[in-house]
């Protein structure tokens, strides 16, 4: 069993990525000659703390602009940390910087961060009520509000589960409940996509975040209860769902917002989802304890992004 996780900062891979001797596929780096995976990109607790202040619930374009400009929303934000994140993503040749960070915010589900994001989405949905009225009747809006309350409650419970004598059981319960929530948000997205006419970009983005966050919590809970094979299966299924939902969409599918930015974000989210099973499988085959691994990632306070090296 691996007792020590080998991490490296993304900048260490810069030369090889620039030279083409390493290429990025989703959230991992691979050697194109050997085909082998070299490292997995991980957002840390430090990274999530940054994003929760800048991106949580923000309209997509605003979040991206704030991050790219290294702007501080409140004085507590470490501009240096933001610039470090942006530099790391540039190293890894992400097509869009701030947007990719918002998309990457689902690689690890730090529960406090998740709860903040669900909270912000709840607020944002209320702000969008004018737009929602045209597509969401009262019943659907009420159902959405109920669902939002439920996911917030689940994220909170997940954050507290480690204090239980048998946290694994609680993580399993939360994972199952989150699966239902994710299915509901997926259904809402499908309804929106199939409806006639162009989709309101902001409504779509809020629903997409609810779906991706719910799935992230599901997978995270399975990893924390050390159900690695199940976590991997869920991750594979989620990746298929995202391809089915997001791949057919293009800039022409949306109105009232930066559709180019959104489309690029959806691609990054889907790519990251497609490579997540490889991270989980690596941990599983190395007998890594899921909870220990996630704990290590969450407890990182210095680096917002790290690369998990594959020996």
Partner 1 sequence: MSVWRKLLSFFGLRSDSLHLPALNSDTPLTFELELEDLDYIRYRRQILDWRDNFASQLLADAGKGFQEFKQQVEKEISDVGILRKVFAKPAAEVLKEDFDQLVRAPLAKCQADTAMALEKMFQGCSHGLAVAPIDPQLSILEDISFRAAKQDEVVSSLRRLVFDDGGMIDAYLKPAQVITQSLLVAYKQKQ
Q: Which residues bind partner 1 (CB under 8 A)?
A: 1, 23, 25-26, 28, 30, 35-37, 196-198, 232, 243, 247-248, 250-252, 259-260, 263-264, 267, 271, 274-275, 277-278, 281-282, 284-287
- Give least dist CB 250 to partner 1, A: 4
Using alpha carbons, list the distances in angstroms from residue 306 to 47, 83, 295. 10, 15, 14
- The span from the CA of 264 to the CA of 4, in Å, is 35
- Residue 52 vs 212, nearer CB to partner 1: 212
- The span from the CA of 232 to the CA of 238, in Å, is 10
- Residue 115 vs 282, nearer CB to partner 1: 282
- Give least dist CB 26 to partner 1, A: 6
The helix/strand/coil state of 193 is helix
Question: Cβ distance 241 to 186 under 8 Å?
Answer: yes
- Give least dist CB 158 to partner 1, A: 27
- Give least dist CB 254 to partner 1, A: 10
Closest C-alpha to 88, from 35, 6, 21, 24:
24
Backbone angles phi, psi at 272, to 5 degrees: -60, -40
- Residue 18 vs 301, nearer CB to partner 1: 18
Q: Identify any residues that bridge with 308 across adjacent strands, giving them in sequence order.
A: 7, 40
- Residue 46 vs 203, nearer CB to partner 1: 203
Helix residue spans in 40-166 (DSSP H): 45-54, 60-68, 79-91, 97-104, 111-127, 129-135, 138-160
- Residue 91 vs 265, nearer CB to partner 1: 265
- Residue 102 vs 161, nearer CB to partner 1: 102
- Give least dist CB 213 to partner 1, A: 22
- Give least dist CB 196 to partner 1, A: 7
């Amino acid at each position: 069993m691996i007792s020590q996780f080998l991490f490296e900062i993304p900048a260490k891979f810069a030369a090889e990525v620039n030279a083409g001797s390493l290429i990025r596929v989703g959230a991992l780096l691979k050697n194109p000659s050997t085909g082998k995976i070299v490292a997995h990109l991980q957002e840390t607790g430090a990274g999530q703390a940054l994003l929760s202040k800048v991106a949580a619930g923000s309209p997509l374009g605003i979040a991206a602009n704030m991050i790219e400009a290294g702007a501080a929303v409140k004085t507590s934000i470490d501009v240096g940390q933001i610039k470090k994140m942006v530099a790391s993503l540039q190293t890894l040749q992400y097509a869009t910087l701030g947007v990719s960070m918002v998309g990457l915010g689902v690689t690890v589900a730090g529960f406090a961060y998740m709860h903040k994001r669900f909270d912000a989405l709840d607020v944002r949905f209320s702000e969008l009520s004018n737009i929602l009225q045209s597509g969401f009747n009262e019943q659907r809006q009420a159902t959405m509000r109920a669902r939002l309350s439920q996911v917030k409650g689940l994220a909170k419970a997940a954050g507290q589960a480690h204090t239980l004598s048998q946290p694994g059981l609680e993580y399993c319960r939360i994972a199952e409940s989150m699966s239902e929530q994710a299915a509901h948000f997926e259904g809402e997205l499908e309804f929106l996509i199939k409806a006639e006419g162009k989709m309101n970009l902001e409504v779509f983005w809020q629903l997409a975040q609810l779906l991706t966050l719910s799935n992230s919590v599901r997978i995270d809970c399975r990893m924390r209860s050390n159900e690695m094979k199940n976590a991997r299966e869920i991750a594979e299924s989620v990746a298929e769902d995202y391809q089915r939902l997001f791949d057919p969409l293009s800039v022409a599918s949306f109105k009232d917002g930066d559709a180019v930015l959104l489309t690029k974000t959806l691609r990054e989210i889907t790519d990251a989802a497609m490579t997540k099973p490889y991270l989980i499988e690596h941990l599983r085959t190395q007998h890594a304890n899921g909870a220990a691994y996630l704990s290590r990632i969450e407890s990182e306070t210095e680096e917002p992004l790290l690369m998990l090296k594959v020996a």
